[in-house]
Amino acid sequence: MSPERKNQHRPNRRRSTPDRSHIPVMIREVLDHIPAGPGKCVADVTLGRGGHTRAILERMSGSGTMILMDLDEHEMKATVSSLQPNGASIWPHAGNFAGIAQVMAESGISGLDGLLADLGVSSMQIDDPSRGFSYRRDGPLDMRMDMSRGETAKDLLGKLTEAELAEALRELADESMAGPLSRAVLARHRLTPFETTTQLATFCETALGRPGENWSLRQGKRWVTHPAARLFQTLRILVNREVANLKHLLRLLPSILNPGGKACIISFHSGEDRLIKQSFRDGLRQGLYDSISEEPMTPTEYEKKGNPRSRSAKLRWARKTIA
């Protein structure tokens, strides 16, 4: 097992999320940097279960406006119905955050004081076997955040070339075995297409694992990354066009923020973080931003112990130049 496949120590906890619950990542850091006082206009473009939104609404003290966006329309409706805006205005819109400018125009909002994007998949989506996001739960090989449209992960595996998949594995997941893994997976898929998450995960164990290795257990005092983890992450990003949508959002930010407005983006893999870092630095050099986070903020050890899924989170912020 190569050293890069080993993760940091983490507590032996259940990784699933209790039904209808969610732990928002880096909530204190978000509140430190999102202008969320009374009368402010803020967008949470990745609503999920609304943990960040609830905290921001509390800071608004019953006034101001929040735009809420999420690709998962069903979950969004459930979350919005549970919110207590206490006098603040909320404008929910089902859709991808790349469409934030159009949503603002439809809502009659010319600029934002704050924008939050949490790029991680929600715990509820991961833990729902029918969505196909998790290699730990048996379900259809789907991975679409919006299940009403688009290609599934199974469809995508039928179209990708070995070179395309290998490049994506290296760029989006830092997969050191990108070449061998892409060759093995696509050769098997051409012969007998993978239908379920378990089929694909089990095949990855055979293709990359050591004989007799039990991937459901810790290896001594350390956890190791499952051979399917980076492949599942890569397929999810490709299926949902996450990189293209993030690039579009980053291009839009200077035009949709009010002077002095701040954007906070939480990412969960190095490919996303590189894009955000470069975009914010370019904006600073061009005078679009007057300050940015030079280094990403990361969860405290206390948070990582209480919410293991937060361990890879990185938060970067940028503030639009005050004219």
DSSP bridge pairs for 289: 320
Pairing of strands 65-70, 41-44: parallel
Where residue 221 sits, what CATH number does that domain have? Answer: 1.10.150.170
Strand order in the sheet with 314-320: 89-94, 65-70, 41-44, 112-118, 257-267, 314-320, 289-292
pLDDT of residue 19: 42
Q: Which of 186, 221, 239 is the last residue of a domain?
A: 239
The HSE-up count of residue 289 (CA atoms within 13 Å, CB side) is: 25
pLDDT of residue 22: 62
Predicted confidence (pLDDT) at residue 97 exceeds the cutoff of 80: yes
Does residue 54 fall inside a structural domain?
yes
pLDDT of residue 86: 84
Average pLDDT over residues 273-299: 97
* C-beta atoms surrounding 125 within 10 Å: 21
CA distance 138 to 130: 8
Q: Which of 239, 272, 307 is the last residue of a domain?
A: 239
Do 186 and 111 lie in one domain? The reply is no
pLDDT of residue 211: 56
Predicted confidence (pLDDT) at residue 15 exceeds the cutoff of 50: no
Average pLDDT over residues 202-223: 62
* Secondary structure element (H or E) that encloses residue 315, with its range: strand 314-320
Average pLDDT over residues 258-266: 97
pLDDT of residue 209: 64
Tokens standing for residue 165: 């998949």
Do 174 and 112 lie in one domain? The reply is no
pLDDT of residue 224: 63
* Residue 128 backbone class (left: φ over 0; alpha: ψ -120 to 50; beta: rest): beta
Predicted confidence (pLDDT) at residue 8 exceeds the cutoff of 70: no
Tokens standing for residue 211: 């004989």
**Lowest mean per-residue pLDDT among 22-26, 50-54, 101-105:** 22-26
Q: Report the candidate in 208, 211, 205, 154 with the shortest Cα–Cα distance to residue 181.
A: 208
Write down the mean pLDDT value for the chain.
87
pLDDT of residue 136: 87
Does residue 8 fall inside a structural domain?
no
Predicted confidence (pLDDT) at residue 18 exceeds the cutoff of 80: no
Average pLDDT over residues 4-15: 37
Share above pLDDT 70 across residues of the chain, in percent, rounded to a whole number: 88
Share above pLDDT 90 across residues of the chain, in percent, rounded to a whole number: 66
Do 215 and 254 lie in one domain? The reply is no
pLDDT of residue 213: 59
pLDDT band at 245 (very low <50, low <70, confident <90, very high): very high
Where residue 100 sits, what CATH number does that domain have? Answer: 3.40.50.150
pLDDT of residue 147: 84
Do 287 and 301 lie in one domain? The reply is yes
Do 35 and 114 lie in one domain? The reply is yes
pLDDT of residue 16: 43
Does residue 129 fall inside a structural domain?
no
pLDDT of residue 212: 56
DSSP one-letter code for 14: -
Asked if residues 154 and 194 have their Cβ atoms less than 8 Å apart, the reply is: yes
pTM: 0.83
pLDDT of residue 207: 82
Does residue 133 fall inside a structural domain?
no
What is the extent of the structural domain holding 285?
Answer: 27-123+243-320
User: What does the angle CA 140 – CA 239 – CA 68 come to, to the nearest 5 degrees?
Assistant: 100
* Residue 137 backbone class (left: φ over 0; alpha: ψ -120 to 50; beta: rest): beta
Tokens standing for residue 249: 């959002």
Does residue 262 fall inside a structural domain?
yes
Do 251 and 313 lie in one domain? The reply is yes
Q: How many domains does the chain have?
A: 2
DSSP bridge pairs for 90: 66
pLDDT of residue 214: 55
Burial of 278 (0-12, 13-18, 19+ CB in 10 A): exposed
Q: Report the candidate in 43, 5, 58 with the shortest Cα–Cα distance to residue 257.
A: 43
